[in-house]
Chains A and B, each alone.
Chain A
Amino acid sequence: KNQVEQSPQSLIILEGKNCTLQCNYTVSPFSNLRWYKQDTGRGPVSLTIMTFSENTKSNGRYTATLDADTKQSSLHITASQLSDSASYICVVSSFSGGYNKLIFGAGTRLAVHP
């Protein structure tokens, strides 16, 4: 069964600190892996997208890594800001039938405190 599991479920850090969120997946066939940021009351917004051959992708203070052998990904946030408070969702795509079926993790809820 295709699954995406994220840890931790929630995390509290102080402003300016770094943090790393984890994602493990069992999805086949694998197309790509995305990290989304979902602010409260908003829809998810893409942060990074990585295919099988990419093992690191950065977007400002966000750096995602992918280990396709172990089927693990991480999202590292550097020098956190209050605006980073959100849910971060790991999404794995499986391309079949002409489109990318998305399998969503439950998300990690991050709270950045001053």
Chain B
Amino acid sequence: DADVTQTPRNRITKTGKRIMLECSQTKGHDRMYWYRQDPGLGLRLIYYSFDVKDINKGEISDGYSVSRQAQAKFSLSLESAIPNQTALYFCATSDRASGGAPYNEQFFGPGTRLTVL
């Protein structure tokens, strides 16, 4: 089974609808992240969380909100979807940095393709 799973894998919705994307992980990692990927651009960070009580904005958080319900679950919501939120969304996890070690790698889910009409 995949370590990081995302649901749904594909979603088509209309402008103004509320959408929730779910992410679950079995890696036991404390840290979870949401990114979006647009054609011709690198992945951009939307929100990240270091534990259940911690939520931090990334570089493009406007129009999004998140919820960290448990260590293993991190959901992304679009309260009122708009067409320019059409993108590929990735969840990622990482272990906490140990002693400042720079190697704490992020592991990505398979992505959710969201289309807003």
A residues bordering B, Cβ < 8 Å? 4, 9, 31-32, 34, 41-46, 49, 51, 89, 91, 93, 95, 98-107
CB-based nearest B residue for A3: B42
Could you pull out 29 A-B pairs where Cβ atoms are within 8 angstroms?
A4-B42, A9-B40, A31-B102, A32-B103, A34-B105, A41-B110, A41-B111, A43-B4, A43-B90, A43-B109, A43-B111, A44-B90, A44-B108, A46-B105, A49-B105, A51-B102, A51-B103, A89-B42, A91-B42, A95-B102, A99-B31, A99-B104, A100-B102, A100-B104, A100-B106, A102-B45, A102-B106, A105-B42, A107-B42
Asked, given contacts A104-B42, A104-B43, whether A99 binds B108 with beta carbons under 8 Å apart, the answer is no
**Which B positions have Cβ atoms within 8 angstroms of A?**
4, 31, 40-45, 48, 50, 90, 92, 94, 97, 100, 102-106, 108-111
Q: State the majority secondary structure of interface residues on B.
A: loop
Q: In whole Å, how far is A62's beta carbon from the nearest beta carbon of chain B?
A: 16
B97 touching A99 by the CB < 8 A rule? yes
The CA of A45 and the CA of B106, in the complex, are separated in Å by 9
Alpha-carbon separation in the docked complex, A41 to B77 (Å) = 21
**Neighbouring A residues of B48 by C-beta, 8 Å:** 99
In the A-B complex, the 5 residue pairs with the smallest Cβ-Cβ separation, listed nearest first, are A104-B42, A43-B108, A31-B102, A104-B43, A32-B102
B97-A95 in contact (CB<8A): yes
Shortest CB–CB separation between residue B21 and chain A, in angstroms? 14
Contacts of B104 in A (CB 8 A): 99-100
Give A23 to B8 CA distance when docked, in angstroms: 33
Query: Besides A99-B97, A104-B42, 15 other CB < 8 A contacts?
Result: A31-B102, A42-B111, A43-B90, A43-B109, A43-B111, A49-B103, A89-B42, A93-B102, A95-B97, A95-B102, A99-B31, A102-B106, A103-B42, A105-B42, A106-B42
